[in-house]
Structure 1
Amino acid sequence: MTKLLIAYYSSTGSNTKMAEWAKEAAEAAGAEVRVRKIHELAPDVAIDSNPLWRKNVDATSDIPEASSADLEWADAYIFSSPSRFGVMASQMKQFFDLQGGLWGAGKLANKFVTAFSSAQNPHGGQEQVIQGIYTVMQHWGAIIVPAGFVNMSTFGAGGNPYGTSATIDGEGNMVDEEAVKAAVKDQTTRLLDVAGAYVNR
């Protein structure tokens, strides 16, 4: 059985949704799954300035925060982050930056990884966010499993071969939500298919 860590950062809830959809697909595929949120760095005054942000924080208060132990436990990773000026959220970057001990001990190598992203417009940096995550993974020695053009759902969700990316409108709603959901699930299944061929050999 493949052990999958889904670690995400979400302010207003879109990446929370994608993590939930990935969990559904992974459990249906027989994986052992941990869903973990990335530690929030923003102060309450910033969170309270956006009702959607506060709602998501309160709604996910029972989800454990990602830890180094989760990374060591898993065979495969899904990371999901919104775009912040075309790069991953600082919360996600800090989580990665804290893993020097595991990296130095060689405990992050040969893990399988894929990534999701979101932004408020179709060209808001989603591809760069995913590529930025993959850059870190290359330093870890992880094995990247992109969405590719393997499933038709990739085209339905905007055609990003690096990983599923969601566009969020000005009201905080995900554009083409059902298409994104299908792409997330297919990408998750692809990751597990590839990882499982190695883990369960």
Structure 2
Amino acid sequence: MAQPSFTLPASSAGTSDHLERLSAKGWVVIEGFLEPTLTTQLRLEALRLDAWTDAGIGSDGQTNQKVRRDRTVWLDGTSPVQAQYLSRMESIRLQVNQTFFAGLFEYEAHFAHYPVGAFYRKHRDALRGSDARVLTSVCYLNEQWQPSDGGELVIYNDADNAVETQIHPVGGNLVLFWSEDFPHEVLPARRDRFSVSGWFRRNIDAANPL
């Protein structure tokens, strides 16, 4: 069955469109991006997978337990639920390109699991020496997450290093922010925390230009 086209919804405050908020602030939280059924299906999909590995850092992917302690497994789009999620992100890619002329060429994503006590110290998603990653997405898959459960995403203002916002990983919510502009970290989780983290990328392959 064909998936419905996705349109970024109006903000919950009713004051601006989410793309306008992304333009003005550089980041946006889209509450209820995923309906509860799809959120649950993605979480169960993650739990069924057996290819989890300790997450690495930098372009060489070396692990460093002092920097991050989450585990990841990449989406390949082969299951119906993964394909449904990737279809929605493709709709976002097209809308962002139309609005910002961003030149987003592709999307990559992995499931992320933060066991109890896991964290990710402050970092940028744009890899050193590469501007391929342009727009970061984080979609949460957690059920009935409470503030006491920790695991918040903290986004910093690059100009003065002040906290820009602190986001609870509530299931079904999607966060978007420009990858190069915002250092961020994940605070220690006090229960298992699941998400899909992804990046909309430019094509920087000189042999295959846009």
TM-score, reference length from structure 1: 0.27
Query: Larger % of helix: which?
Result: 1
TM-score, reference length from structure 2: 0.27
